[in-house]
Chains A and B, each alone.
Chain A
Amino acid sequence: GQQLNQSPQSMFIQEGEDVSMNCTSSSIFNTWLWYKQEPGEGPVLLIALYKAGELTSNGRLTAQFGITRKDSFLNISASIPSDVGIYFCAGLTQGGSEKLVFGKGTKLTVNP
């Protein structure tokens, strides 16, 4: 089945630092999604990417849809304590019975 390899598994950073995480796959996806999940809550959509090569920003967050359609990255600039949480990438194929494939998440800890 399709799998997404998300890295790193966890990150411990100081407030103010920039963060980068990525997802790769051997399969092609037509949509890449990035979610953030806080403890005991459901994932919240951060950025959706629909086109190969697309670079999209949402405040301090920037994500790109890889040109090969097999990867995506998420950058967070100037991290703040409220950025803590688990960040998930998810890939979506188009057509037929559609299923999201999730990475295992990157757990981010920001030290003030």
Chain B
Amino acid sequence: DGGITQSPKYLFRKEGQNVTLSCEQNLNHDAMYWYRQDPGQGLRLIYYSQIVNDFQKGDIAEGYSVSREKKESFPLTVTSAQKNPTAFYLCASSIEAGGGETQYFGPGTRLLVL
């Protein structure tokens, strides 16, 4: 089945640690995105990538980093510089960016800071 997978479903982090959230898609989509969701809030864009080896900051990029070495994969690292990392993280992809294309979402990873 084609789709977007995120792992793990739940992730626990100790303060001061970096953690990496995985996002993989087999839809052959060029564009991939990371969003953060907090209770009662809409989704806020962290980073996005329109093509391999290229990515752009979204609205709340501070304390996060990404890489896009392969078309299928767009991992997100939550660094120790992110002061309030507890949230639900959603990865999405679309055929291409800039063409009005619909974004499809993965199942999400819930990050909890201990």
Residues of A close to B58: CB separation below 8 A: 99
A97 in contact with B100 given A42-B90, A43-B105 (CB within 8 Å)? no
The A interface, classified by DSSP as helix, strand, loop or mixed, is: loop
Q: Which residue of B lies closest to A92 (CB)?
A: B100
- Cβ of B102 to closest chain A Cβ, rounded Å: 5
Interface residues of B (CB under 8 A from A): 4, 6, 31, 33, 40-45, 48, 50, 56, 58-59, 88, 90, 92, 97-108, 110
Interface residues of A (CB under 8 A from B): 1, 4, 6, 30-31, 33, 35, 40-45, 48, 50, 88, 90, 92, 94-100, 102-105
- Cβ of A17 to closest chain B Cβ, rounded Å: 24
Residues of A close to B33: CB separation below 8 A: 100
- Cβ of A23 to closest chain B Cβ, rounded Å: 10
A100 in contact with B100 given A41-B108, A43-B90, A43-B105 (CB within 8 Å)? no
Residues of B close to A103: CB separation below 8 A: 42
A97 in contact with B42 given A40-B108, A48-B102 (CB within 8 Å)? no
Q: Is the CB of A104 within 8 A of B41?
A: yes
- In the assembled complex, 29 residue pairs joining A and B whose CB atoms fall closer than 8 Å, in A order, are A6-B42, A30-B100, A31-B100, A33-B102, A40-B88, A40-B108, A41-B107, A41-B108, A42-B6, A42-B92, A42-B105, A43-B105, A44-B105, A45-B104, A48-B102, A94-B99, A94-B100, A95-B98, A97-B48, A97-B50, A97-B97, A98-B99, A98-B101, A99-B48, A100-B43, A100-B45, A104-B41, A104-B42, A105-B40
